[in-house]
Amino acid sequence: MSNPTQKPALVPKKLILPFILITSLFALWGFANDITNPMVAAFKRVLELNNTQASWVQMAFYGGYFTMALPAAFFIKKYSYKTGILLGLGLYGFGALLFYPAAAWESYGFFLASLYILTFGLAFLETTANPYILSMGPEETATQRLNLAQAFNPMGALAGLFVAKQFILNALQSNETDADGNIIFSSLDESAKAVIRTADLMVIRNPYVMLGLVVIAILVIIALVKMPENKETGKIEFRATMKRLLSKRNFVEGTLAQMFYVGAQIMVWTYIYQYAEVLGISNASAVNYGYAALVVFLIGRWVCTFLFRYFAPARLLMIFSVLAIAFTAGAIFLPGMTGLYSLVGISFAMSLMFPTIYGIALEGLGDDSKFAAAYLVMAIVGGAIMPTLQGMIMDIGGSGYDDTLILGVPEVNFSFILPLFCFVMVLLFSVRVKEIVK
Would 4 be classed as within a structural domain?
no
Residue 25 has a pLDDT of 94
One-letter amino acid of 94: F
Determine the 3-state secondary structure of 398 from DSSP.
Answer: coil
3-state secondary structure 274-336: HHHHHCCCCHHHHHHHHHHHHHHHHHHHHHHHHHCCCCCHHHHHHHHHHHHHHHHHHHHHCCH
Residue 111 has a pLDDT of 97
* Sequence-ordered list of residues with C-beta below 8 angstroms from that of 20, at least 6 positions apart, any chain: none
Residue 312 has a pLDDT of 84
Would 5 be classed as within a structural domain?
no
Q: How many angstroms separate the CA atoms of 150 and 133, rounded?
A: 10
Q: 88-107, pLDDT tens digit by residue?
A: 999 999 999 999 999 999 99
Q: Are residue 225 and residue 284 in the same domain, yes or no?
A: no
> For the chain, how big is the Rg over CA atoms in Å?
22
CA angle (61 as vertex; 236, 239 as ends), nearest 5: 20
Q: Return the minimum-mean-pLDDT range out of 151-160, 190-199, 316-325.
A: 151-160
Torsion on CA atoms 216, 218, 221, 224, rounded to nearest 10: -60
Q: Are residue 264 and residue 350 in the same domain, yes or no?
A: yes
Altogether, the residues listed in the chain come to a count of: 438
Q: Are residue 45 and residue 145 in the same domain, yes or no?
A: yes
Q: Are residue 264 and residue 333 in the same domain, yes or no?
A: yes
Q: Are residue 177 and residue 161 in the same domain, yes or no?
A: yes
Percent of the chain predicted with pLDDT > 90? 59
Q: How many angstroms separate the CA atoms of 248 and 350, rounded?
A: 25
> Judging by beta carbons within 10 Å of its beta carbon (0-12, 13-18, 19+), is residue 4 exposed, middle or buried?
exposed
Would 1 be classed as within a structural domain?
no
Alpha carbon 254 to its chain's center: 18
Number of domains in the chain: 2
Q: Residue 82: how many CB atoms within 10 A of its CB? A: 22
Q: How many angstroms separate the CA atoms of 402 and 411, rounded?
A: 6
| pLDDT band at 109; cut points 50, 70, 90 | very high
Q: Answer with the one of 229, 255, 288 that is the final residue of a domain.
A: 229
Residues 383/62, Cβ–Cβ less than 8 Å:
yes
Q: Answer with the one of 177, 204, 229 that is the final residue of a domain.
A: 229
Residue 284 has a pLDDT of 86
> Judging by beta carbons within 10 Å of its beta carbon (0-12, 13-18, 19+), is residue 195 exposed, middle or buried?
exposed
The packing angle between helices 56-78 and 16-36, to 10°, is 160
Q: Would the pLDDT of 422 be above 50?
A: yes
Q: Report the pLDDT averaged over residues 291-315.
A: 86
| pLDDT band at 310; cut points 50, 70, 90 | confident
How far are the Cα atoms of 186, 191, 256, 309, 357 from residue 312, in angstroms, in the given order? 53, 61, 21, 8, 12
Residue 2 has a pLDDT of 46
Would 182 be classed as within a structural domain?
yes
Q: 337-365, pLDDT tens digit by residue?
A: 999 999 999 999 998 898 888 888 878 77
Q: Would the pLDDT of 238 be above 80?
A: no
Q: What share of the chain is helix, strand, coil (3-state, %, to 5)?
A: 80, 0, 20
Supply the CATH number for residue 203's domain. Answer: 1.20.1250.20
Higher pLDDT, 373 or 435: 373
Q: Residue 210: how many CB atoms within 10 A of its CB? A: 15
Beta bridge partners of 409: 406
Q: Are residue 252 and residue 186 in the same domain, yes or no?
A: no
Residue 387 has a pLDDT of 93
| pLDDT band at 1; cut points 50, 70, 90 | very low
| pLDDT band at 63; cut points 50, 70, 90 | very high
Q: Are residue 36 and residue 156 in the same domain, yes or no?
A: yes
Q: Answer with the one of 229, 261, 290 that is the final residue of a domain.
A: 229
Q: 244-285, pLDDT tens digit by residue?
A: 888 888 899 999 999 999 999 999 999 999 999 999 998 889
Higher pLDDT, 23 or 182: 23
Would 331 be classed as within a structural domain?
yes
Would 408 be classed as within a structural domain?
yes
Q: 128-161, pLDDT tens digit by residue?
A: 887 788 788 887 776 567 767 877 888 898 899 9
> Judging by beta carbons within 10 Å of its beta carbon (0-12, 13-18, 19+), is residue 193 exposed, middle or buried?
middle
Q: Would the pLDDT of 3 be above 60?
A: no
Q: How many angstroms separate the CA atoms of 50 and 280, rounded?
A: 19
Q: Are residue 150 and residue 251 in the same domain, yes or no?
A: no
Would 269 be classed as within a structural domain?
yes
Q: Are residue 241 and residue 272 in the same domain, yes or no?
A: yes
Q: Are residue 320 and residue 417 in the same domain, yes or no?
A: yes
Q: Are residue 357 and residue 276 in the same domain, yes or no?
A: yes
* Sequence-ordered list of residues with C-beta below 8 angstroms from that of 332, at least 6 positions apart, any chain: 339, 409, 413, 414, 416, 417, 420
Q: Which domain covers residue 323, as residue numbers? A: 236-437
Would 3 be classed as within a structural domain?
no
Q: Residue 303: how many CB atoms within 10 A of its CB? A: 15
User: Mean pLDDT over all residues of the chain?
Assistant: 89
Q: Are residue 170 and residue 86 in the same domain, yes or no?
A: yes
